[in-house]
Amino acid sequence: MSTTPIADYALLSDRHSAALVSRDGSIDWLCFPRVDSPSIFGRLLGGEAGHWSIRATSATPVTRRYLDRTMVLETTFRTPTGTVAITDALIMGDGNRGHELGKGAPHLLLRRATCVEGEVELSLEYVPRPEYGLVHPLLDAVDGGIAAFGGADVLILSSPVALTIDESAVSGQFQLRRGESAGFAVHHSKRAETGSARTWSQSEIGARLEDTVSAWESWSELHQAYVGPWRDLVHHSGRVLQALSFAPTGAICAAATTSLPEVVGGARNWDYRYAWVRDASFTIEALWVAACPDEANEFFDYITTSAAGSLDRGGDLQIMFGIGGERDLTERALPHLEGWRHSTPVRVGNGAWSQRQLDVYGELLSAVYRLSDHLFDTTTHRVGPMAAPGKWGAPPDLAPVTRRFLVQLADTAALRWQEKDQGIWEVRSEPRDFLYSKLMCWVALDRAVALADRLGASDRVEAWKQTKDQIREAILTKGWSDRANAFTQSFGSDELDASSLMLPLVGLLPADDPRVLATINATEERLTDDRGLVYRYRTHDGLEGEEGTFLLCTFWLAQALARAGQPARARTVFDRAAAFVNDVGLLAEEVDPDSGAFLGNFPQAFSHIGLVNAAWAISEAELRQTPPVESAPGTSSPSDRTPG
């Protein structure tokens, strides 16, 4: 059973797969060749499911950081005799730069130990366990390393030091003196690709590691221009969101893991290694702030292709897809894994794929609207808040089939908005008239009206406007509760839900409307824990057990306060949530209200999205309250560089 705190992990990504590295130097989660593939190392979810550790003996303290503007991790171990730094990375394709980040990644995990002071003794344990620990591979010494054969996977460990094989595990010890390095690599292939996995020399390991550092630096240099408050956190969150994307298709994962629980020892354990339309749309919007949204074209191509034909046949838009575009994400349990801190079942797949969630139409069309100048304009332009002029060139225009698909989204929202659904939180109880779902149907039509000329749908505008007005009236009359003095979770309910904070954020009501202010105050007073972090809701949702506070919802509260012209209060709320970033700037889904520990899958795109958008909203609110400063000739103020 794994008891390592979630916050003790750092993320590695090559935009194909993902790994988690613990503070003490153990790779406890790695899925090859895709982030949703069965794990090669899975000790995160089961003690016998495999790991790969390199650590200095008797090391205290241990510090970590990502190399500047990258997702390459450096862990420094200090011992009584010396100091060693271990650099870890999932390797990018050779020569990848800028928008090509992650293309053609070789499915290679590199680890290089460098002694920076004195001399240090290190130990290595290598226990590969493909297929979530079901396979104990055959190990064989080869020139320059160890080969592992078992099931469908072939793994080659490259090592410059002598290692001992003990059945299906490998171990070794070695010493480094100041200035000495030792590079290690695990290369993955499938048995059908015999010969593609091989050992790597020390010079190759060094060169590919440096190339990957340069690849991340080039992406950050090309994409990241935000200069507002919490700049470093916003930029880092942008890189995390990019790390959660899948380069071959443009899909964006909700998180890098499965089955990290919302309740320790409970059953609220889900697989988040898929592309939710909602999460990915929010991510694309957040990248408008934190980075360049050029990848949006790939994402919309991915969604259009994945959903092909479903709306033509009168069906719903599926809420999520596999990162390759797969539709069937049938959920199953892995009974041989005991789960993180005995939280079972461990699940792969996600049963929510077949749910009806009407909010997805609005989220997708909102992302299109936010990026409309980028998506529809084929002339050179600049995008993103505070972007430098001329930073990016012309993108390809949206294909006619994509425009038709977007029109169908609005038509479906207009047709179905009165139906019940499972809502944004994917409750597994009876469908309801969730306020947030109605709100996002309103958003779908509001944005479609604004985009009608570009979509070639001017003939639909009047009908869309009529339905949009009907939805707004229903929300204002049925979604408001005098007893709660707030907008509530569902029509006719008195229960609070943090998603009601989105009413001003999407523009249905101004943020200083008395009903919005009352909802903000009710959320802060009655839907928070002792730390001031926000719960999603406190109603029964068809599942046993309580859950933690939700970081995204806390950032929503900060964003709503900023929109309401209260940036000082917004900063206080923002800082409460941002204080929970771990030592390498990562956020999980939830926080345990008792211990303050991370809960839920990790790192969680939603949480980083919330951080980015709240920071931007506070920046804008503070600019509105600050008298303009006269610029020197030839310069521009930050607000002059926002998109027009």
Full domain range(s) for residue 578: 224-625
End position of a domain, from candidates 219, 252, 286: 219
Whole-number pLDDT of residue 379: 53
Do 327 and 204 share a structural domain? no
Long-range contacts of 2-5 (CB under 8 A, 24+ apart): 2/28, 2/43, 2/44, 2/45, 2/46, 2/47, 2/340, 2/341, 3/341, 4/28, 4/44, 5/597, 5/598
Do 201 and 188 share a structural domain? yes
Is 339 domain-assigned? yes
Give this prediction's pTM. 0.93
Is 324 domain-assigned? yes
Is 374 domain-assigned? yes
End position of a domain, from candidates 219, 254, 270: 219
Whole-number pLDDT of residue 1: 64
Q: What is the CA radius of gyration of the chain?
A: 25
Residue 633 pLDDT grade (very low, low, confident, very high; cuts 50, 70, 90): very low
Whole-number pLDDT of residue 310: 74
> According to the per-residue pLDDT averaged within each range, which of 26-40, 351-365, 377-391 is highest?
26-40
**Is it the case that residue 272 has pLDDT exceeding 90?**
yes
pLDDT digits (tens, 9 = 90+) for 420-436: 999 999 887 889 999 99
Is 637 domain-assigned? no
Do 365 and 455 share a structural domain? yes
Do 251 and 202 share a structural domain? no
Do 412 and 294 share a structural domain? yes
Q: Which segments within 181-258 are labelled E, that is strand?
A: 181-190, 245-246, 251-252
* One-letter identity of residue 274: Y
**Is it the case that residue 541 has pLDDT exceeding 80?**
no
Do 487 and 377 share a structural domain? yes
Percent of the chain with pLDDT over 70: 92
89, 102 contact by CB (below 8 A): no
Total domain count, the chain: 2
Closest CA to 223 of 242, 202, 207: 242
- What CATH code is carried by the domain that includes residue 164? 2.70.98
pLDDT digits (tens, 9 = 90+) for 481-540: 999 999 999 999 999 999 999 999 999 999 999 999 999 999 999 999 999 999 999 987
Do 361 and 345 share a structural domain? yes
Token representation of residue 404? 């038709």
Residues forming beta bridges with residue 54, ordered by sequence position: 124
Do 170 and 106 share a structural domain? yes
Whole-number pLDDT of residue 398: 67
Whole-number pLDDT of residue 491: 98
Token representation of residue 589? 């889904």
Q: Within its chain, how far is the Cα of 571 from the centroid?
A: 23
Per-residue HEC secondary structure of 513-563 comes to CHHHHHHHHHHHHHCECCCCCECCECCCCCCCCCCCEEHHHHHHHHHHHHH
Is 355 domain-assigned? yes
Whole-number pLDDT of residue 238: 93
Do 243 and 205 share a structural domain? no
Token representation of residue 582? 């771990």
Is 638 domain-assigned? no
- What CATH code is carried by the domain that includes residue 378? 1.50.10.10
**Is it the case that residue 383 has pLDDT exceeding 50?**
no
**Is it the case that residue 36 has pLDDT exceeding 50?**
yes
Is 159 domain-assigned? yes
- Strand, coil or helix: what is 633? coil
Do 231 and 207 share a structural domain? no
Do 267 and 209 share a structural domain? no
End position of a domain, from candidates 190, 219, 248: 219
For the residues 189-204, what does the mean pLDDT come to? 85
489, 434 contact by CB (below 8 A): yes
* One-letter identity of residue 512: D
pLDDT digits (tens, 9 = 90+) for 219-256: 998 888 889 999 999 999 999 999 999 999 989 999 99
Whole-number pLDDT of residue 642: 34
369's CB contacts (< 8 A; 6+ apart) are 447, 450, 451
Do 181 and 275 share a structural domain? no
**Is it the case that residue 293 has pLDDT exceeding 70?**
no
> What per-residue string of b and e applies to 259-269 under the rule 16 or more CB within 10 Å gives b?
bbbbbbebbbb
Pick from 390-404, 493-507, 616-630: least confident: 390-404
pLDDT digits (tens, 9 = 90+) for 569-596: 999 999 999 999 999 999 999 999 999 9
Residues forming beta bridges with residue 87, ordered by sequence position: 74, 112
Is 642 domain-assigned? no
Mean confidence (pLDDT) of the chain = 90
pLDDT digits (tens, 9 = 90+) for 110-143: 999 999 999 999 999 999 999 999 999 999 999 9
